[in-house]
Chains A and B, each alone.
Chain A
Amino acid sequence: MAATDAQTSLRHAFGNVLAFFILILIGVLAFSIRLFSVIKYESVIHEFDPYFNYRVTQFLTKNGIYDFWNWFDDRTWYPLGRVIGGTVYPGLTLTAGTLWWVLNSLNIPLSVETVCVFTAPIFSAFASWATYLLTKEVKGAGAGLTAAVLLAMVPSYISRSVAGSYDNEAVAIFALIFTFYLYIKTLNTGSLFYATLNSIAYFYMVCSWGGYTFIINLIPMHVLLCIVTGRYSSRLYIAYAPLVVLGTLLAALVPVVGFNAVMTSEHFASFLVFILIHVVALVYYIKGILSPKMFKVAVTLVVSGGLAVGFAMIAVLVAMVAASPTMGWSGRSLSLLDPTYASKYIPIIASVSEHQPPTWPSYFMDINVLAFLVPAGIIACFSPLSDASSFVILYIVTSVYFSGVMVRLMLVLAPAACILSGIALSQAFDVFTRSIKLQLPSLSVDSHVNAGDASSESVVPDDTVKTDKTEDTHKERTSKKSKKKEKEPVEKPPSKSQIKKRLLVLPLETSIIAIVLLVLLGAFYVVHSVWAAAEAYSAPSIVLTSHSHDGLHVFDDFREAYAWLSHNTEVDDKVASWWDYGYQTTAMANRTVIVDNNTWNNTHIATVGTAMSSPEKAAWEIFNSLDVKYVLVVFGGLVGYPSDDINKFLWMVRIGGGVFPHIKEPDYLRDGQYRIDNMATPTMLNCLMYKLSYYRFVETDGKAYDRVRRTEIGKKYFKLTHFEEVFTTHHWMVRIYKLKPPKNRIRGKTKKTKSKASSKTVSKKQGIKKNPF
């Protein structure tokens, strides 16, 4: 017996070392699979929001944390400005800033941009390690490693964390998983130490992403589930109560959250459950000290009294919540609960493509085979159902719902899917390898195998035992006992598992074929993930490429336009564009913008939307009142770039019309159809967006054929009276116009004689051109 003990501990040591190296490799994998964007393109910040984060990080590294905290930015949302320090989730910025600071103080001179570019890959390595820890707490090390591998290359997460994708989600997913891990850890151990760590991890999550509300709702839901299913224990209390108290206090420290941590409906669930868990704790305590008869009397008393108080409180709460028009929920949260809410009331949320519900193919694109493995994982979690596995089940169920509402919350689903698929895969491998193991060498060392694999075996065989156990022990189990119990679910006494073993031995051939199929499945997943990382999700979207018969085309028009702005305009000039390009304009061109991607002021955005939907003169007046000097539009009609301003235009109309009712959507539609060809409505053909997009477009090919809309445009020849074109990029993707100054003279009304007409237009042009210089 001593020999086998030594052997098992050796095996454990070996397994731990192996696991350690596997984890390192997983980290390397997670990091390197995200470098495609740097290799294929260049080391740049991607997309829109990352540019803002990058700019904030630059400010932080230059001016220090206090100035960052107090930063009032006068270059966005002109003339309102934006209090950056109080409206930004600082986690990502502080993380990257700290990284940069540490590296610099170690005399590793990296630019801020480099650090920002590589923050996301680094944190995805951390996230896979956190996944390992979390899954290990749920189902053991094998499942943990599998889940970590899966997470390291799940396409959904890659899409948000390739090198250069410097966005909140990059660090927030790590924080999310790590918070869940610490919660489960606390739940399993009942240690106050982990509970405190959990609060701190939660604080980091609050710092990083608005998605922290998912945690502060999911954990109470789980606690509630545990209470309802009779799984209340002191470990649960320790896992939950400190998190609510410390977590809320810490969350209130983040300026952007502040009093929201106690005032908005998103956080109410945690407080309600907090009260509930105390009531339940009290009930269990009283039950312990009273005789059953007395307890019954006490229960009736307390229940009647408690009900009265409870109803009174709920009534007050309902009255308070109902007093606010949105019931105290923010628009984004409401659109989560009611998926049709945003499209009905808040076009500005609905207009963002990542806030749309996903299509079915996007599930297969983003989580691929995991979609098939998740149900198996759920079943595995039910056998046996522990506190931890019930949490994972709850996590997957809620995140599947949320991902069905908003495509970008697929990101929250991905870790859950990885964890459950990891569990499913490792359980399946367990069953199959054990079947093979039991049948192949059974001739030689039967007993040894039994003893040996029992330790490394999974929990599947002893499911009945365990469920029995947990059910009858949950009441008066002390934290210490349970600690041991939960900590070593794998090290069940061999005697028990031996009895159960006979249940799950599959035929040899079936097992081998199944393993081959599983490996194939895994291989397919890897191939798909690498393809997704290399092809689908690595484009930085400020540099575009297209393959055609005559080779690779690179469209670097955005940076061309921003560079033009920064070199050819005054420092204080204001540039108006649709809000998508606000962050990039401030970060790359360093010019003041009217609206940007932080869509905090609907009216201001509606003003710009109205200007874009108005005829030239009205638009000029709106822009002039905002001191705008330049107007930037993105136009894809020449090269077929589909996400241009004409395709976004209906949203401008809707958002503008939401505030200024003289803009009516039907005016821009012909029989309910959005078109820009010769069937388009006059309002459409005369609005500023149409004119700025298609001005001189006919000069390109003589027909003015729009390759995005696949049609010839409706009005080809027109002149601009209040705007003048100052710059159009190489592929016409960005066009910049300048507001003409008011005319120096006002003409009289006498009709011009025909002979003079030509000379007169010339004179006017000259007069106006002369002025700026």
Chain B
Amino acid sequence: MAKLIIFLFLTLIPILCNSFTPDKPSDRRILVLLDDFAIKSSHSLYFKSLQSRGFDLDFKLADDPKIALQRYGQYLYDALVLFSPTIERFGGSIDAAAILAFVDSGHDLIVAAGSNASDLIREIATECGVDFDEDYGAVVVDHAGYAVSATEGDHTLIASDDFIKSDVILGSKKIEAPVLFQGIAHSLNPSNSLVLKVLSASPTAFSANPKSKLTSPPSLLGSSISLVSVIQARNNARILISGSLSMFSNRFFNSGVQKAGSPTKHDKSGNEQFLTEVSKWVFHERGHLKAVNVQHHKVGETNEPSIYRINDDLEYSVEIYEWSGTTWEPYVADDVQVQFYMMSPYVLKTLSNDNKGRYFTSFKVPDVYGVFQFKVEYDRLGYTSLSLAKQIPVRPFKHNEYERFIPAAYPYYGAAFSMMAGFFVFSAVHLYNK
């Protein structure tokens, strides 16, 4: 029986593993947890855009007792979408810890909260570095940047066009229309280097409970409020956290938008483009780099040596590719640098590339011996961080690699040999000339 299980397991491994491999970083199987199945239809446009890109969505109620992220130590999904802002307790084996472990093992996550976000959702967000407004009734209000609509309302539906300036996250096509947002605010710790504001509120926004009178100044206000944030963890797992679930809805996707004070009225809000592009980034269809084929060798040779000598001339090359969603495309940039590093960089060179993904340079090993590293630390906004380190020792000259005769020493050679000759003559004279 045990053998059979092992056999099954071994045959299943390739099937289980082909879902998320370094070769194909895009996610395939996505678990969507919903508060109720009505969301499935009310947000169908968003789900459809995912499905049309080849994702396999598995809709479950968040309190379904049968849901599980992993079975037998294997994750069943590559990504998780939490469209269940009100859930207090997940069904099955899922809890906040399981979700965070899911992220820490390299999987992606989309969390949409709302004005009624539960403690559980807030806790997950906090663990990822996003702090929702602690005032439970507070939502984002903007009396200057609200979306013009038929009813005047309380200005909680806001139109924001303060996007992050990154083609990698938002795509190369400019998002013309503002994005409609209705939900809660969150703030980010400025010292947190992993989290990014993708959509910020305007300077006139603030977070308060619109139903009650404002007695004290709101704790969150202005552009420090983040509406939508993304996190790229150190293991390159990507997380999207939005303060509003409704911005994903068909209604927001399709409605026209006019920002207060702006003369232009757009027929269609920017939500669809914005969220689709961001989801492409979150699900690793964009901005995912890999570096392969690190090579270094002495100039004029091809084999990689196990050790260099000081003042050797060497060539270094690495190939960097970006995942396009279907294939690995050459990554082209002019700011990739290599360090020849031993406690501090001794050599820092910008790599040139051949537009086919190969980056290369050549330099002289410094006149210092020790254990060096070829280090490529490439952290660019939106891209996965590349961190390559390859250890290589550098030795001093061998005892027979020094020059045997140096011109400056000829007087000494002369002195030594004339001394020897003189001694010989002296001895001869002294001994045989009585």
Contacts and interface: CB of A to CB of B under 8 A. Distances in A.
Among A742, A748, A752, A756, chain B packs the most CB atoms within 10 A around the CB of A748
A625 B375 CA distance: 13
A255 B342 contact: no
A69 B402 CA distance: 14
Contacts of B130: 748
B112 interface: no
A304 interface: no
A63 B305 CA distance: 18
B349 interface: no
B189 A770 contact: no
Nearest to B232: A745
A72 B129 CA distance: 47
B357 to A, nearest CB: 28
Contacts of A255: 399
A442 interface: no
B97 A81 contact: no
A592 B131 CA distance: 43
Contacts of B371: 74, 78-81, 592
Q: Is the interface of A mostly helix, strand, loop or mixed?
A: loop
Among B96, B104, B131, B134, chain A packs the most CB atoms within 10 A around the CB of B104
Interface stretch (B120-128, B208-216, B327-335): B120-128
Contacts of A592: 371
A759 B372 CA distance: 43
Interface stretch (A317-325, A433-441, A760-768): A760-768
B101 interface: yes
B65 interface: no
A766 B104 contact: yes
A449 B64 CA distance: 118
B105 A770 contact: yes
Interface in B380-414: 391, 393, 395-396, 398-399
Interface in A198-221: none
A111 interface: no
A747 B373 CA distance: 31
Contacts of B131: 748-750
B233 A744 contact: yes
Among A83, A255, A746, A759, chain B packs the most CB atoms within 10 A around the CB of A746
B103 interface: yes
A745 B126 contact: no
B41 interface: no
B393 A74 contact: yes
B95 to A, nearest CB: 7
Interface string A589-620: 00010000000000000000000000000000
A6 B323 CA distance: 105
Contacts of A741: 234
A572 interface: yes
A79 B342 contact: yes
A748 B125 contact: yes
A753 interface: yes
Contacts of A749: 131, 189
A741 B233 CA distance: 13
A500 interface: no
Given A70-B398, A748-B131, A80 B370 contact: yes
A743 B235 CA distance: 10
Contacts of A107: none
Contacts of B101: 763, 766-767, 770
A749 B129 CA distance: 8
A643 B231 CA distance: 49
B396 A83 contact: yes
A747 B103 CA distance: 13
A79 B192 contact: no
Contacts of B231: 745
A79 B126 contact: no
Given A70-B399, A80-B370, A745-B127, A763 B307 contact: no
A771 interface: yes
B34 interface: no
Contacts of B127: 745, 747-748, 760, 763
A422 interface: no
Contacts of B393: 72, 74, 81
Contacts of A768: 104
A85 interface: yes
B100 A763 contact: yes
Nearest to A73: B393
Interface in A62-92: 69-70, 72, 74, 78-81, 83, 85
A260 to B, nearest CB: 17
B391 A748 contact: no
A771 B369 contact: no
Nearest to B128: A745
Given A72-B393, A74-B393, A759 B95 contact: yes
B237 interface: yes
B230 interface: no
Contact of A753 (B119, B125, B396): B119
Nearest to B188: A748
Contacts of A79: 342-343, 370-373
A371 B8 CA distance: 80
Contacts of A69: 398-399
Interface in B145-189: 188-189
20 contacts: A70-B398, A74-B371, A79-B342, A80-B370, A80-B371, A81-B371, A83-B395, A625-B343, A744-B103, A744-B235, A744-B237, A745-B129, A747-B127, A748-B129, A748-B130, A748-B131, A750-B122, A763-B101, A766-B97, A767-B101
Interface of A: 69-70, 72, 74, 78-81, 83, 85, 255, 572, 592, 625-626, 741-750, 752-753, 756, 759-760, 762-763, 766-768, 770-771
8 cross-chain pairs, A with B, having the tightest CB-CB distances, nearest first: A763-B97, A767-B104, A72-B395, A74-B393, A79-B371, A748-B131, A748-B126, A70-B398
Given A70-B398, A626-B343, 19 more contacts: A74-B371, A78-B371, A80-B371, A81-B393, A81-B395, A83-B369, A741-B234, A743-B234, A744-B233, A745-B231, A745-B233, A746-B195, A748-B126, A748-B130, A756-B96, A756-B123, A759-B96, A760-B127, A767-B100
Interface of B: 95-97, 100-101, 103-105, 119, 122-123, 125-132, 134, 188-189, 192-195, 231, 233-235, 237, 307, 342-343, 369-373, 391, 393, 395-396, 398-399
